[in-house]
Structures are given as C-alpha cells and as structure tokens.
Structure 1
Amino acid sequence: MLMMLVAVGLLSLMDGGLKLLAARYPPLQVAFLRGASSLPFVLVWVGSSVGFASLLRVRWPLHLLRGVIAVAMMSSFAYALRTLPLSTAYTLFFVAPLIITALSGPLLGERVGVARWLAIACGFAGTLVVLRPTGEGLMSWAGLAVLAAATGYALSAISVRVLGRSDSTQSMVFWLLTLLSFGAGLLALPGWVPIERGDAGVIVGVGLCGALGQWAITEAFARAQASVIAPLEYSALAWGLALDLLLWQQLPDAITWLGGTIIVGSGLYLIRRESDESAIAARAATDPPA
C-alpha cells in the first residue's frame, strides 16, 4: 500500500511537470517529451532485471496498437492540461475504471452484472455533472480531451490484460514509451518548438518521476491484491489539489466537487464488488465438496 501511494505521488508530480510543459509546447511535443525522458531510466530497469533479449519476444500487433493509443492518449491529456486545473483533469480521468469495466464485456468476454452497469451509469452521470452540458463544460474541448485520454487509458489497460499472459511488464513499459516517443515525435516535427534551456530540469523530472512511478506501481500490484491497492489511485486527487494550489492558485468549484464525488464513489463501488466476487470465487474453489 505504501508503494502504491509513492507511485501515485510520483506520477502526480510527473503530471504537474507535464502541465508546466503544456503551457509552452504543442501537445504532441509534450507527449514525445513524456516518453523520451523516461526511456533512459526504463532501460536501466530492463537491463538490471530481465535483460534486453526479452524485449524482442513480444506480441508485436498488440504493442503497435498500444503505441497508437498512447500517442492519442498523451497528446489529448497534454492538450487538456493547458487550460484545465490538474485536479479537474484528474476528476474527469477517474472515469477510466468505469470505461474499463464497461468494455471488459464486449472486448474480453467478462460478465458485467446489473449492479455494475448501474454503477457505471452513475459514474457517467457524475461525468456529465463535471462537464456541465448546459454551460461551458460539454462544449469545452479540454474536458472532452480528458475523456478521450481516459478512454485511451482504458483500452490500453484492457490490452495489458491480454499481453500480460505472454509478455513481461518490462517489455510492455519499454515498447509503450518507445512507440510513444517515435510516433509523437514524428507527428510533432512540423510544429516543433525549440526547447528552452530552462525547461531541462522539468523534462528530466518528468522522466525520472514517470519511470520511478511506473516501477513503484508495478511493485505494488506484484506484492498486494489489486482490489486492496487500486482505491489508493484516488489519492491522486489530493496531489492534484495541492499542486493546483501551490503552483497555479486554482481550485475546483462546487459542481466539480459534486461530480467528482459521484465518479469516485462509483469507482470505489466497482472495486469493492470485484473484491467481494473474487473472495467468493476463491472460497468456492478451496472449500471441499459437500
């Protein structure tokens, strides 16, 4: 649990750095900087754990698909960070677990019961509250960009469930960052903005926090049940609020708080229900027959 809290904190600091960069560079260039700045640290991790040979024994089609999704996801999130407070972006992004559950049925063949569909519907209702379709919310490209990023994250997470059956965590992280860097960098070339020397520290910080955060979250899920530590992801909202207040003197309004409470509550319900169902299934598998 401590490792998960550390991971969330590091990744939140990374997002704070991305928001600083997003104010000065195009979204695709920020996406490139996110991937490229973490690659050297990830290479050290790969070399000291599984070795570089394992990087070639992967399922290429799914990795290429994840790379395309990563470019779209990171550029959308960077675009949103140019105008949205970090805490508001996190509030909308928390809809991702609901999207994962909704897509796990048609894409993975998993059963999604009525109770879960009701929780998903409540979560999306909370999203509409945050977006405020009668005012500036739904018409905000930044808000829609966060939803696009959350959808990309959900699709990427579902692909990990499939890739995890054959590929190592190191190969998934390495190829995701490599393809993100290559794809976003290539698309960013026409509108490339020269990088200012003063931003070097922020870029290195983004890379270091991103790499350490990825390592920490991998260790957390390896050492504890997902249902126990997954709710700790919502601690990112506290980090977002602190960074918004310290760096940009911004805080969400009351309507955003209301919608965020609905979204987080729906996500926590799904996590709790999945935990309960897993426990029931485990008991059924270990109990002797009557």
Structure 2
Amino acid sequence: MVLAIGLFSLMDAGLKLLTVHYGAMQVATLRGLSSLPWVLVWIGLSTGFATLWRIRWGLQLLRGALSVAMMAGFVYGFQLLPLTTVYAIFFIAPLMVTALAVPILGEKVGPRRWTAIVIGLVGVLVILRPTPSGLAGVASWAGLAVLGAAVGYSLSSVMVRVLSRTDTTQSLMFWMLISLSLGSALFAWPSWRPVDSGHWGLIIGVGLTGALGQYAITEAFRLGEASLIAPFEYTALAWGVGLDLALFGVLPDQITFVGAGIIVASGLYLLRREKVHAEAEHP
C-alpha cells in the first residue's frame, strides 16, 4: 500500500507538470492512454483477454463515466492548487465511501461513524474556508472540483464492491482506462494541442507509475485486511509536501494542514470503528 501511494503520488506530480502545457481533459486522456499498454501486457500474461467481455455492461459504463468526471476534477485541481492541498481535500473519499455504502449497499452505519463522517466534512470546510461572499484562501472552483472528484471516486469505489462479485479485476481496470481515454478525448478534441516530443518521457512515466500503482494497490487489498491497509493512504500527504517543495517550490499554509489533520483523524477513527464492527459481526 505504501508503494502504491508513492507511485500514484509520482503519477500525480507528472500530471501536474503536464497541466502547464495542456488542458485538463487532454491530460486526463493522456493519463488513460499511457497506462493502457502496460495493463494490456499484464492482462495477456495473467488471465488472457476472454474475461474482458463477460461483464455487467451497464455498471461498467456508469463507472467509466464517473472515472472521466473524477479525473477531470482531479486534474483541474492540480492546475491551480498544490499537490498537498488536493490530497487534503481528497482524503474525504474514504469517509464518503462509508456514507454511500448505506443507500447503495444497504450497510448499517452507527451514530459514532456518522459523527466521524460529519467531522471529516468539517475538515474539508476548514481547507476551503467558506465566507459569506464565497470561498477564501483556496481557488474555489479548483477546490470544489477536487471535492467533486472525491465524491466520484467514492461512488466508483462502492460500485467496484458490487462489480467485483461478477467481474474480474482485469476487466475492471481495462474498461475504466478505455472509458477514461475515450470519454476524456471526446471533450478534449475541440481544444486538443499536439503533444510536444519533449513530453513523451513524462507521459510514459505517468502511464507506468499509474499502472504499477494500480497493480500494487490491488495486491495490497488482496493480501491484507482493508481496515489495516487503508490508513496508509494518508501517507500521500507526506509525498505531496515533498513533491510540492522539490518540484514546484511551494508549501500549503497552516490552515490546510489543520483541515487535513481533522480529516485524517476522523478517517482513522472511522476505520477503527469499522474494524470493531466487523469483529463484532464475525468474532
């Protein structure tokens, strides 16, 4: 899990570097296309391609649409915000997964876990700093775009729980990348810019780190308990600080760290409560 988060952080830094030269939807397209060849090699060496077609098409297409919206919001946030700030807002996603599991999966969430979710939302408000006239301190549309991306990611994660009952991991990764590439390209086409030859190395790096990160996180959840592994997702904050300082020469302000601390604390408490709840159901 730590390796996966590190790889994804390097991928995100590459995406942020690309946003200087290309629009958000074009960068999202390049992210999908650059990872696809690596994933195809993995599929060919593991299960083969036959299982890619035995899927639940409706849910796969819906998840694909969510992936396009999520990546667009994420990349737009990278254009205007430091990596650390984007990660701090995006940390609300694990809390949203728990909240969405109630109406979609029929899971029960007790008052303590609902309290943790509400406290996490307070942390997001601290980062966005709402005022009577709008949002201060953070580029408002960028912050809201990342928040929307976190909601899309949460919906997609809940859908994976449903799809994994019938569809293979290979099909989930393949069709997500296909949907992301084609859907983003459709929106990016009117303002598409030719890719500079000097950027291909960066694009290949984005694709490789994205594919390896996806494989590492899949293996992490396959081999370990989710409640023990998930907290390592918060190591992205350290990666964000280091990469922001090394590549972009910026650091988030203290209020962002306070908000991130609130979200992380509520997320860790939520994971602890879910572990206690699972042990009570299956002693």
Tell me which interval the TM-score lies in, with the shorter structure as reference length: over 0.9
> Which of 42, 45, 49 in structure 2 is aligned with 1:48?
45
2:80–2:139 Cα contact (<8 Å) kept = no
Task: Tell me if 1:144 matches 2:149.
Answer: no
Instruction: Say what the alpha-carbon RMSD is for the aligned residues.
Output: 1.0
Aligned counterpart, 1:6: 3
Task: Tell me if 1:246 matches 2:243.
Answer: no
Give the TM-score normalised by the residue count of structure 2.
Answer: 0.97
Aligned counterpart, 1:273: 273
Task: Tell me if 1:60 matches 2:57.
Answer: yes
Work out the CA distance in 2 between the residues paired with 1:204 and 1:275.
39
Counterpart of 1:164 in structure 2: which amino acid? S
Aligned counterpart, 1:288: none
Work out the CA distance in 1 between the residues paired with 2:227 and 2:70.
25
The structural deviation recorded for 1:275 is: 1.0
Aligned counterpart, 1:89: 86
Return closer, same or farther for 1:138/1:237 CA change in 2, 3 Å cut-off.
closer
Counterpart of 2:128 in structure 1: which amino acid? L
After the TM superposition, which parts of structure 1 deviate over 4 Å for at least 4 consecutive aligned residues?
none
Secondary structure of the 2:250 match is coil
Aligned counterpart, 2:187: 187
Work out the CA distance in 1 between the residues paired with 2:235 and 2:210.
17
> Which of 96, 105, 109 in structure 2 is aligned with 1:108?
105
Work out the CA distance in 2 between the residues paired with 1:68 and 1:243.
30
Aligned counterpart, 2:130: 133
1:32–1:184 Cα contact (<8 Å) kept = yes
Counterpart of 2:169 in structure 1: which amino acid? T
Work out the CA distance in 2 between the residues paired with 1:204 and 1:102.
36
Work out the CA distance in 2 between the residues paired with 1:8 and 1:192.
30
2:127–2:255 Cα contact (<8 Å) kept = yes
Aligned counterpart, 2:209: 209
2:15–2:75 Cα contact (<8 Å) kept = yes
Ranges in structure 1 where 5+ consecutive residues have no aligned partner: 284-290
1:133–1:139 Cα contact (<8 Å) kept = no
Aligned counterpart, 1:227: 227
Q: Which is worse superposed, 127-136 or 114-123?
A: 127-136
Return closer, same or farther for 1:137/1:112 CA change in 2, 3 Å cut-off.
farther
Give the TM-score normalised by the residue count of structure 1.
Answer: 0.95
2:81–2:139 Cα contact (<8 Å) kept = no
Number of matched pairs: 280
Task: Tell me if 1:261 matches 2:261.
Answer: yes
Counterpart of 2:13 in structure 1: which amino acid? G
Work out the CA distance in 2 between the residues paired with 1:142 and 1:199.
25
Work out the CA distance in 2 between the residues paired with 1:226 and 1:131.
29
The structural deviation recorded for 1:137 is: 4.3
Work out the CA distance in 1 between the residues paired with 2:3 and 2:184.
28
Aligned counterpart, 1:117: 114
Secondary structure of the 2:130 match is coil
Counterpart of 1:268 in structure 2: which amino acid? L
Secondary structure of the 1:272 match is helix
The structural deviation recorded for 1:106 is: 1.2
The structural deviation recorded for 1:139 is: 6.4
Secondary structure of the 1:58 match is coil
Q: Which is worse superposed, 272-281 or 250-259?
A: 272-281
Deviations 1:197-251 (A, max 9, x none): 1111110000000000000111111111111111001101111110000001111
1:137–1:143 Cα contact (<8 Å) kept = no
Ranges in structure 2 where 5+ consecutive residues have no aligned partner: none
1:138–1:144 Cα contact (<8 Å) kept = no
Work out the CA distance in 1 between the residues paired with 2:141 and 2:60.
29
